[in-house]
Structure 1
């Protein structure tokens, strides 16, 4: 079969994806983020339109099962804005779920079946299909639920070639996550490690890229940690080390208080309008084009089962 990228409006040839924001959220509700719910289709649609105007042709909607995702609304927003949207199945780290959430008690096989249905049939009975699987881990920890979710995601990557995204809390436990996924049959070149830039260590990043993993830089505009210059310098050093074909850029803005359409700032447009010009000035237009176009298209392409 020919590889495709599975979007909320249908399958897309990889060469038609265009400049991609690899990590955002249009809808999200989590007990960890009270008051920061993304739950308004009109406002989320306006934010997606702003991302499109800023220069993005595509984005990954990284909200997995049980956290307020709305696949049907994402499909409507995609059609209205012309922005390609690749949706996520899978699970987040366990702290994002209430203690009595039934998802936390599912076995590896049950999780794999649930995720597989989202990928091949549709999410939440909508017929809108997911295009990747997400898992998450804690700060230097992988608890039993998170391990089962990783095993399920890794098994699906081995079976279908589906892309995988893993939330790394503050960029920790990256090698350990790759090892666990490998034990489930998942090749590192199927995996995007979200938040590696929250541990801005270009030597580590080059090591992870050498294993084949994609490096998710998605921490721009978080100045409570460090200025954007730290991330630009880290990214440039990682590219200079030969890992430019493994870097992905995203915003992971992910908060009502940080979306302009919800009354906050800086909004989804920040990545392309403010951060990207600084990246381009340092690594050059060719390397920037690889980061925005070739890398996400390669990572997101898979061969769904008939």
Structure 2
């Protein structure tokens, strides 16, 4: 598989070299508002900064903020948090599955081409205000545009409906025009091969796809199949003990590593709820991943594999060749 060995990673504070990224939590939400999680809104910049500080103190250098268009994202605040804490943040563009957007939502009325234009401009020219991402540009404190570095789509449990298909097509266009990777939310880890098949038919090779939440289906055989195709596998179910204990996730990860696929694995927390943020009075907070989960996994797979999962794989998955960008950031 051909993957970029050089290039850039686009953060909210500008472009960096892949080797500058450090240890990565590949999936978090500093801000999020969705009708699917009433009462769990993440809207406080002050509290999100507290969580970011705790994450940095626990050893994480960078995150992907996985909140896409129309779900309460706040790029200007994310950039301020990055500046204040030193946490490098790659923000997503794109859209989630249709369950997050009620009938009549602006995004539902957009065509594939209109969605793709929003996504591409988020990467190339910077985020804009508005629920549909088509308002005024959002500048950083320094006046620079705040740009996305990955595009997101999502599918429901064994269902890729009309809206989800439209977003996947638009995400594929965004990838083709910019080179950024495509992250896909999989409800309960379902429809993974089907998503890869669709994206591949649209010109997105599996090694430019990040499959989020594969560990909501703890099937190491399936995971090895997906890794064999080249996809990056996002494990982000730690601390969800009602669904599966951490030990089960670690056992699955270990099995996939033993199958020879350590180079396809990513780790994230996806805490995503106010009731799980320490800063909002909940627990376990963003620090759970590096403080509790990573040390246990380290004992099983060793330092070399952990370095690959936390540093090498995220950098490779997020890097893209800047030559594909036809427009300057300030345009």
TM-score (norm 2): 0.91
Matched, 1:190 2:208: yes
Report the counterpart of residue 261 of structure 1 in structure 2: 279
2:236 and 2:211 map into 1 onto residues whose CA distance is 10
Report the counterpart of residue 283 of structure 1 in structure 2: 301
Do 1:205 and 1:238's aligned partners in 2 also have CA atoms closer than 8 Å? yes
Do 2:254 and 2:301's aligned partners in 1 also have CA atoms closer than 8 Å? yes
Cα shift readout 1:269-292 (whole Å, capped 9, x = no counterpart) = 000000000100001110011000
**Equivalent residue in structure 1 for 2:54, among 50, 55, 59:** 50
Matched, 1:216 2:234: yes
1:155 and 1:117 map into 2 onto residues whose CA distance is 12
Give the match's secondary structure for 2:261.
Answer: helix
2:244 and 2:230 map into 1 onto residues whose CA distance is 27
Give the match's secondary structure for 2:57.
Answer: helix
Cα shift readout 1:17-46 (whole Å, capped 9, x = no counterpart) = 000000000000001111000000000010
**Equivalent residue in structure 1 for 2:292, among 269, 274, 282:** 274
Matched, 1:227 2:231: no
**Equivalent residue in structure 2 for 1:103, among 99, 107, 118:** 107
Where does 1:142-157 land on structure 2 (aligned, <5 Å)? 142-157=160-175
Matched, 1:131 2:149: yes
1:3 and 1:295 map into 2 onto residues whose CA distance is 14
Which range moved further: 48-57 or 98-107? 98-107
1:153 and 1:262 map into 2 onto residues whose CA distance is 33
C-alpha deviation, 1:89, in angstroms: 0.3
Matched, 1:113 2:110: no
C-alpha deviation, 1:155, in angstroms: 2.0
Report the counterpart of residue 29 of structure 2 in structure 1: 25
Report the counterpart of residue 132 of structure 2 in structure 1: none
2:179 and 2:125 map into 1 onto residues whose CA distance is 16
Matched, 1:293 2:297: no
C-alpha deviation, 1:70, in angstroms: 0.2
Give the match's secondary structure for 1:280.
Answer: helix
C-alpha deviation, 1:247, in angstroms: 0.2
Do 1:158 and 1:184's aligned partners in 2 also have CA atoms closer than 8 Å? no
Which range moved further: 34-43 or 100-109? 100-109
2:7 and 2:111 map into 1 onto residues whose CA distance is 30
Do 2:218 and 2:248's aligned partners in 1 also have CA atoms closer than 8 Å? yes
2:115 and 2:283 map into 1 onto residues whose CA distance is 36
Q: Which runs of 5+ in 1 are unaligned?
A: none
**Equivalent residue in structure 1 for 2:12, among 5, 8, 12:** 8
Which range moved further: 2-11 or 157-166? 157-166
Cα shift readout 1:140-178 (whole Å, capped 9, x = no counterpart) = 000111001111111222332211100000000000000
**Equivalent residue in structure 2 for 1:202, among 217, 220, 225:** 220
Cα shift readout 1:180-231 (whole Å, capped 9, x = no counterpart) = 1111100111111000000011110010011110000000000111110000
**Equivalent residue in structure 2 for 1:67, among 47, 64, 71:** 71
1:232 and 1:132 map into 2 onto residues whose CA distance is 27
Q: CA RMSD in A?
A: 1.0
